[in-house]
Structure 1
Amino acid sequence: MLVSILLWLLGGLVLLAVAVAVCLMLATWWIAAKSERLVPASGKFIEIGGNRIHYVETGEGRPIVFLHGLGAQLHHFRHTLFGRFGEGYRLIALDRPGSGHSVRAKGAIGRVTEQAEIVRQFIDKIGLAKPLIVGHSLGGAIALTLAVEHSKAISGIALLAPLTHMDASVRDKFGSLYIQSPLLRWIMAHTVAIPASLKYAQRTLAFIFAPQATPADYMVKGGGWCGLRPSHFYATSSDVVAIERDLGGIEQRYGEIAMPAGILVGARDRVLGMHIHGLPMTEKIRDLDFEPVDDLGHMPQFIEPQRGIVFIKRIADRAFAVDR
C-alpha cells in the first residue's frame, strides 16, 4: 500500500514538473515571438564561416565598425549614435555571432579570439579599408583582441566602457549567465531564462545604466526586447563562460598595441569599474587617449551620445591620418 502511494506521489510530481516545463516553454515562445515583432531584423545578412551576421550601415567615407557588449545588439549604436554622427563616415554596426539577429556557427563557443577573427573576415568580405573599431564593454575586449592579433586589418580602436582585464567580480555580477554545460544552458534558455529575464528586466537595466535612469525607449528603439529570445540568452551565456579562455592571455599583450587608441569610461561604472578596466590601461598602451567622465555609468552611448561621438571622431582623426 505504501509503495503504491509513493509511486502515485512520484508520478504526480513528474507530471507537475512536466506541466511547469511546458508552461515555461510556451511563455518563452510567446515572449520570443513578441520580441521578433517589436525588434525585427532591419539590416543585411552575410555568411562568414558558418556564422550568419546581421549588420546595418549608413553613410560614406571613413569606415567605422561598431561592436556591442554582452547581451546587447547593434541598436546600441544605431539608435544612439548613427543619426548624430554627420557626414564623411561609413558607419557599420553588427550583431555579434549569436546576439541580436546574427546566428552563431555550429560548434562555435564565443571565445574573444574567435569573435575577433569573424570581425576580421567581416571587414574583408564587405570591402572595408582598415576601419576604426569602436567597442563597448565586451565589444571592447574584442576590439583589443583585433588590435593585438589582427593589427594590419584595422586603423585604430575607440573603446567605450571596455572590458579589459580578467575580473572575478564580473562573474559574480552575471552569475546567472555563467552556465558551463551547453546542455543545461540550452534547457535554461528554452524554459526559465526568458520569463525570468523579462520579470527582472527593469532591475537588471537599472544596474547596467546606473547611476543614470534607463531610457524610456530602450526596450524597443534601443533593442532591449531583442535579448528576450532563447538563442540570444544561449549566446550571451556562452560569451560569459568563454571570456576566461582568452582574455588573460590577451591582456598580457596590450603593450604590443601601437595604433591610435582611446578609452572613454564612466567614473561611476558599476558593471566594469574604471579602476580595474580603465586606469591600468594608461600604463599599458602607448599614447592612449584616456577620457574619464565623472558621474557617468556603463552606457555612455545612451547617456552622453554627443560626448561619445566627439571622442570617436578624435580617435578617427588620429587613426586615419596615420593610415593615409
Structure 2
Amino acid sequence: MLAEVSALLAPLAAAIGYSSYKARRLEQTYPNIGELTDVGGYRMNAVHLKRPEHADLPPLVFIHGASGNLLDQVVAFRTALEGRAEMLFVDRPGHGYSERGGPENAVPSGQADAIARLMEARGIDRAIIVGHSFGGAITATFGLRHPEKTAGLLFLAPATHPWPGGIDWYYHVATAPLVGWLFNHAIVVPLGLSRLERGTLNVFRPNPRPLDYIEKTGPSLVLRPRTFRNNAADFKRLLAYLKEHSPLYSQITAPTVIITGDSDEIVWEHLHSRGLARDIAASELITVRGVGHKPDYLATDVAIAAIEKIAGMPRDLQAIARRAEERLAAASSNRTHAAAPSLRPDALHGA
C-alpha cells in the first residue's frame, strides 16, 4: 500500500517541483521593471514616468487586460508617448508584481479603488484612464467611482457588458479548494507554456502577432500559481459584477472614446464596445476594420489621436482610423506577396 501511494505521489511531487522551478525562472527572465508602492496594507507595482518638462498631454494611466501585466501596455505606448505626458503603467492587484490585497480586489471596483490610491501616492490628481480588454471593466468602474480623478476615458477592445455563456473550465478548477491548489502548482505551468504560442497568436488574430511580443511582454508570468489563481478569480466574478454595474454606465460624464476592431473574436465588439457607446452619452466609437483584439498594437496611432482628442486637441478620429485601415491593408498585401511560393515547372505537375 505504501509503495502504491509513493508511486502516485512521486509524479505529483515532481510536477510541483518542476513548476516551482519554472516559475522562478520566469521571474528571472522577466524581472520587475516597476516600483512597489503601499496603497493601504499591500503594495501595487507600477512604472511611473514623471511629468516631462514640455508635456502637452495630461497624465495617463494604463490598465492591462486579463492574463497580462504592465509590460503589455508599456511596449505598446511608452516609446510613442514618452516626453509628452506623465505616465503610470499599472500591474493590477494580484497580477504582474503587484500584491493582491483583500478579497475586494477580485472585482473591478476594488481594483479601481486601488489604482486611485496609487495615483494619490504618486501625486497624480487627474488622468486619462486607458484600459484594454478586462482593463476596460476597471476603467468604466474608475469613471463611475472616481470622477474627480478622471480627465477622460479611453477604452481599447473593452470587456464591459454581460455576455452569453460562461468562462473556460480551467478558471473553475483553478479556484476550487484543494484541487485548485494542486492544479495551479502542478499542471498550469507545463500546460500553459505548451499553449503560450497558440494563445498569443489567437489574441492578435486575424492580425499578425509582433515577432518579439512574447519576449518583450512576459505573458507567461500569469502562469505562476498565485497569479493564475488571481486571474481565474477575476474571471469568475466578472460576469455577475457586470450584470449589476453595467446599467450604471449612463452616469459616466468624462470625455470618452472607445476603439475596437470589427474582427475581435475575444471580446465581441457588437456587445461591449457598441454597448458602451450606447450607454455613455457623447462618447465616440471608433471601429477599425480588419482589426482583432489588439488595437493597442495594431492601431496605436488611432489610440494616441484619441488621447489627444480627449485632451482637447482637434482630431478627426474617423479619418485617422480609415488611414490606419489603409496602412494595415497594405502591410497585409505585402506579407501575402512575400509569402507567395514561386512556381517551378515541376510544381505544375504536382512533383
Residue matched to 1:176:
170
**2:138 aligned residue (136, 142, 146):** 142
One of 94, 97, 118 as aligned partner of 2:93: 97
Deviations 1:273-314 (A, max 9, x none): 111111122221111111001110111122232222222222
Q: Shift of residue 13 of structure 1?
A: 4.6
SS in 2 for 1:193: helix
CA distance 1:311–1:175, change in 2 (3 Å): farther
Deviation at 1:164, TM superposition (A): 1.1
What percentage of aligned pairs have identical amino acids? 26
Q: Partner residue of 2:250?
A: 255
TM-score (norm 1): 0.89
Partner of 2:190: 195
> Unmatched 5+ residue regions in structure 1?
1-7, 319-324
1:27 correspondence with 2:18: yes
With a CA cutoff of 8 Å and minimum separation of 6, indicate the structure with the bigger relative contact order. Answer: 1
Q: Which residue of 2 aligns with 1:43?
A: 34
Structure 2 residue ranges without an equivalent (≥5):
314-351
Query: What TM-score comes out, normalization by structure 2 length?
Result: 0.82
8 Å CA contact 1:133, 1:157 repeated in 2: yes
Which residue, 208, 213, 222 being the options, matches 1:213? 208
State the 1:49 CA deviation.
Answer: 2.4
8 Å contact 1:64–1:132 — kept in the other structure? yes
Secondary structure of the 1:99 match is coil
Moved more, 52-61 or 138-147: 52-61
Structure 2 partner of 1:289: 284
How is 1:111-130 mapped onto 2 (pairs within 5 angstroms)? 111-130=107-126
Aligned residue for 2:20, secondary structure, equals helix
Instruction: Say if 2:153 and 2:257, in contact at 8 Å, map to a contact too.
Output: yes
SS of equivalent to 2:88: strand
Q: Distance in 2 between matches of 1:127 and 1:73?
A: 22
Cα distance, 1:214 vs structure 2: 2.4
Tell me the amino acid that sits aligned with residue 121 of structure 2.
K
Q: Which of 306-315 and 174-183 deviates more?
A: 174-183
Equivalent in the alignment of 1:321:
none
Shift of 1:157: 0.7
Q: Is residue 53–residue 103 contact of structure 1 (8 Å, CA) maintained in 2?
A: yes
**Aligned match of 1:185:** 180
Opposite residue 96 of structure 1, the aligned amino acid is R
Tell me which residue corresponds to 2:71: 75
Using a 3 Å threshold, how does the CA distance of structure 1 residues 48 and 145 change in structure 2: closer, same or farther? same
**2:340 matched to which residue of 1?**
none
| 2:160 paired residue number | 164
- Is 78-87 or 134-143 further displaced after alignment? 78-87
Equivalenced residues, count: 307
- 8 A contact 2:262–2:287 mirrored in 1: yes
CA shift in 2, pair 1:146/1:182, >3 Å? farther
